[in-house]
Structure 1
């Protein structure tokens, strides 16, 4: 009898190959946060569809490792009689293997799906790592979706702010300084930035899946599916060499003899290392210079961000005004608005914007206890009503032709108990503490993360996710290298960086709260920086204990709301304008 489940089929395959187990990450060959359906191997095996995770499949056990964002979701999505759930960071996989498996167990892995830093950690586990290059999952995934072939288009210089020729020259100079011959690029957003292209392989991630080799004279070889190229003109294509994507590793090996390659050990699949070493090349392990160049936005990109946030803010106000009007009416009529209905209405408002392209990530539309899962996505079977009795959390964003947006608001439509009011106030105070902060230029994200957590810490509370992340320009919503989190992030924050500030609190089975603005780092007094908000959306103060706000916090809220009101009033609908005026009223009037 044939195996009836993916897990059983994989175990049968491993037994045939005399393997004791296999590691299956939530990853593709480009380390994309969001994978094309073709690359969702972890979901195929386990049922878990979150953006970070790792499975270890053994003959008699199956383990799924996920981080704090997904502990609740994983337990809802996987068969708990088949899978054990572990914490990705509290129980690192290499330590778990070392402590729980006999030395020498043959554990398979696909070397293009693991970066070098992960591989080196796994080598300390005591297992015998067996590299498999023939995609064994494909043998058992009978209805696997096709590999993506999204059309690639050019990003005009008047939106990107710099030509690809200029960018390549800058990268070439960096390679010469490092004394290397080639830079191997595997991150799609780095390639998209370098070549001034955008793609459509993965929904809401407008970068083409491809590889590239950059020589220290600025020459580029681009490894990309030819079917993606019909809309690109000969100006770009004539300035570089193109090859099929599956020729990348062989070309690295072919060029390697006597050459020095720069590889980023945190984002290049270890298969690239194996290819270079096989070809007789030398490797310099160092951060990809394109990553930091891309994060330092130029003036044209920043202007695009600001303009896109004005459009997005108007769409948000139209949505929130509609929601505030309809929630009590529909609830009283016994036909309450649902999470899915709300996110569809919000998308419709965004689609009215001239420069809107697509969503920048899947909307988190979460009512009541659903919001306690900080990366929840509504579905018909979980589609809660939005009522006056519960918080409603909406985290969403848009890809515009001139910028990318990301914001979260938690809304209250009725009377709150003291506990939820206290939690909301603590989250707001943490948000205000960080967004008003002045800090030395070059400060690193982990050095200021605690400012957003302190009001929660004082209550004995915390949240198990980062406080902020970088944002790409018409690219990925989560952009490296900048992060604000407890974990060390060694990258200095400088004027021109774009990040989010998004503290939250989540009480399982009850409620979730998050307040998020996208910000740019700007210069303040000599040697110091501060944050300037790009997001222009009212912050709901009806859930706040206003007596707990200090004068600095009140001053910032009033100034911010005045900016929101004055900027957006001419752009929102006539029905939304009265709501906007009321939602941005000075704090002192709301205390009366």
Structure 2
């Protein structure tokens, strides 16, 4: 029988297998934030295409759990007659299952798509978790795209700053210290960093989908589709044991007897645990050591970040100068610039940069009420015009051969009302409070998150997302382990870490505001650190209540804008240079 509804087809299949429900995560076997179309089972099942979510399909109900960024978006994309929307963090799925499902319900899950920490929490629900390894959705997804086979390229040591052999030796030494025989790596960005390669399986995420095993002597087995390897150096390939990805789980079980595997409970599929245990091995649950090695950038990587941000800043200025001129002119002519047109023009400016590869994530080009959705992406059916009496929010970035960029500016092209001005000023003050902060070396992200929120809290306002995240080096735009958010993040910040600072405020049906710079952590006074901005883009002050800024805030803005002006003036177009000079004028001049 041909089903037209994915839910009806899935429920029929579950009934045939005597299952009461199934969990469908927004993830692949590598816990990728952005999935290849082949792996996007949640979108196929629900219509939701955000980067974080989890569905529970039952015989008579379907629930979609998403975080605060996607509460509005989910309700727009999903058929609400079919799905209930729940909060991923405020209402964890294992607690919902415990409180709402009878004990013993048979709930299916795919062990390659669930990490161990999630599996353990689900075990507390009282449900009978049934591991399915034959990809049941594939039976009903008749138009499923092919698995990606993107080419892999070398990352030369002139850009990476450390050889593959050196990195592998460091990982081996780390394993030996822990008494582990093998490290199973399932995160593609960790593999890319370790082997000094970059991939093209997923747009904007230059990582190769693959798995790896590292032995405590530094030897590596790489489980990767050989069709992706045509462009790699023969010396690298000769130094690594290449195997098919399909053999990864079997290989873990084959090697396990009498051996100890180091697994990351938050990243490794629980299928790896099952394989090691079934093979007679032991497990050390510990964070993948590559994750922290990768986050502590070397001098060559930091130089690349700085250089790529200069290029990106020039592209931003050329774009903003064009936008500032065109928005009022086109609006007056009755042919306003739209969100999609703006993001296409911005991409065109970036494509003029020598080292630009692609965007680092899908641009958030959001006018007026669309910006109230933190991770909104414009489409023909939602493509708002950019108006002079509404905010326009642009969050975008680039992948460059020598770095990755991410920045947000909220722009005003005319007159916005007093409420918007007050909200914008509070977001700016929070941004300034954090980016100018001096803090003890080793401070953890959650310990300083409130600095960015305090001006909003004083107004009785807040935002439901983190304040900052790590950024990869020509790698993932959201890089573990560092985060600044309310949730505890136990990783100390030290010189060489690269993060974002991005407070915001979002009023549904009205407007959204976010100001974001990418920063590096640098040494300050003995025992202390501070942030140095990598982002070089003017901050729009036209919607700021300038009397509410204190002297320290004004001094930071003036110093920052002077740096932006002096660095970018020789690089931007002649048409953009006058705009840049005006946009970076001292605050006192603008007050006058």
Give the 3-state SS of the residue equivalent to 2:171 in structure 1. helix
Give the 3-state SS of the residue equivalent to 2:209 in structure 1. coil
1:338 has 2:338 as partner: yes
CA deviation profile, 1:216-274 (whole Å, cap 9, x unmatched): 00000000001101111210000010100010000000000000000000000000000
Q: Which residue of 1 aligns with 2:120?
A: 120
1:252 has 2:241 as partner: no
Give the 3-state SS of the residue equivalent to 2:531 in structure 1. strand
Alpha-carbon distance in structure 2 between the residues aligned to 1:403 and 1:501: 17
Q: Which residue of 2 aligns with 1:57?
A: 57
Q: Which residue of 2 aligns with 1:527?
A: 527
Alpha-carbon distance in structure 1 between the residues aligned to 2:234 and 2:564: 44
Q: Which residue of 1 aligns with 2:290?
A: 290
CA deviation profile, 1:125-171 (whole Å, cap 9, x unmatched): 00000000011110000000000000001100000000000000100
Q: Which residue of 1 aligns with 2:404?
A: 404
Give the 3-state SS of the residue equivalent to 2:8 in structure 1. helix
Structural mapping, 1:543-554, within 5 Å:
543-554=543-554
Aligned residues: 592
CA deviation profile, 1:286-341 (whole Å, cap 9, x unmatched): 00000000000000000000000000000000000000000000000000000000
CA deviation profile, 1:193-224 (whole Å, cap 9, x unmatched): 00000000000000000000000000000000
Q: Which residue of 1 aligns with 2:574?
A: 574
After TM superposition, give the deviation of residue 557 of structure 1 in Å.
0.1
Alpha-carbon distance in structure 2 between the residues aligned to 1:435 and 1:394: 20
1:226 has 2:226 as partner: yes
**TM-score with structure 1 length normalisation?**
1.00
CA deviation profile, 1:49-73 (whole Å, cap 9, x unmatched): 0000000000000000000000000
Alpha-carbon distance in structure 1 between the residues aligned to 2:2 and 2:415: 57
Alpha-carbon distance in structure 1 between the residues aligned to 2:420 and 2:573: 32
After TM superposition, give the deviation of residue 3 of structure 1 in Å.
2.1
Alpha-carbon distance in structure 2 between the residues aligned to 1:571 and 1:152: 32
Alpha-carbon distance in structure 2 between the residues aligned to 1:121 and 1:249: 23
Alpha-carbon distance in structure 2 between the residues aligned to 1:309 and 1:232: 28
Alpha-carbon distance in structure 1 between the residues aligned to 2:271 and 2:259: 17
1:322 has 2:327 as partner: no
Q: Which residue of 2 aligns with 1:369?
A: 369
After TM superposition, give the deviation of residue 516 of structure 1 in Å.
0.1
Structural mapping, 1:142-153, within 5 Å:
142-153=142-153
Q: Which residue of 2 aligns with 1:485?
A: 485
Q: Which residue of 1 aligns with 2:392?
A: 392
Q: Which residue of 2 aligns with 1:202?
A: 202
Structural mapping, 1:154-193, within 5 Å:
154-193=154-193
Structural mapping, 1:493-504, within 5 Å:
493-504=493-504
Give the 3-state SS of the residue equivalent to 2:250 in structure 1. helix
After TM superposition, give the deviation of residue 92 of structure 1 in Å.
0.3
Structure 2: gaps of 5 or more residues: none
Q: CA RMSD in A?
A: 0.4
Alpha-carbon distance in structure 2 between the residues aligned to 1:418 and 1:147: 51
After TM superposition, give the deviation of residue 4 of structure 1 in Å.
1.7
Q: Which residue of 2 aligns with 1:263?
A: 263
Q: Which residue of 2 aligns with 1:24?
A: 24
Q: Which residue of 2 aligns with 1:281?
A: 281
Alpha-carbon distance in structure 2 between the residues aligned to 1:496 and 1:551: 29
After TM superposition, give the deviation of residue 522 of structure 1 in Å.
0.1
After TM superposition, give the deviation of residue 552 of structure 1 in Å.
0.3
CA deviation profile, 1:9-61 (whole Å, cap 9, x unmatched): 00000000000000000000000000000000000000000000000000000
Give the 3-state SS of the residue equivalent to 2:529 in structure 1. strand
Give the 3-state SS of the residue equivalent to 1:481 in structure 2. strand
Q: Which residue of 1 aligns with 2:445?
A: 445
Give the 3-state SS of the residue equivalent to 2:242 in structure 1. strand
After TM superposition, give the deviation of residue 2 of structure 1 in Å.
2.8
Q: Which residue of 2 aligns with 1:301?
A: 301
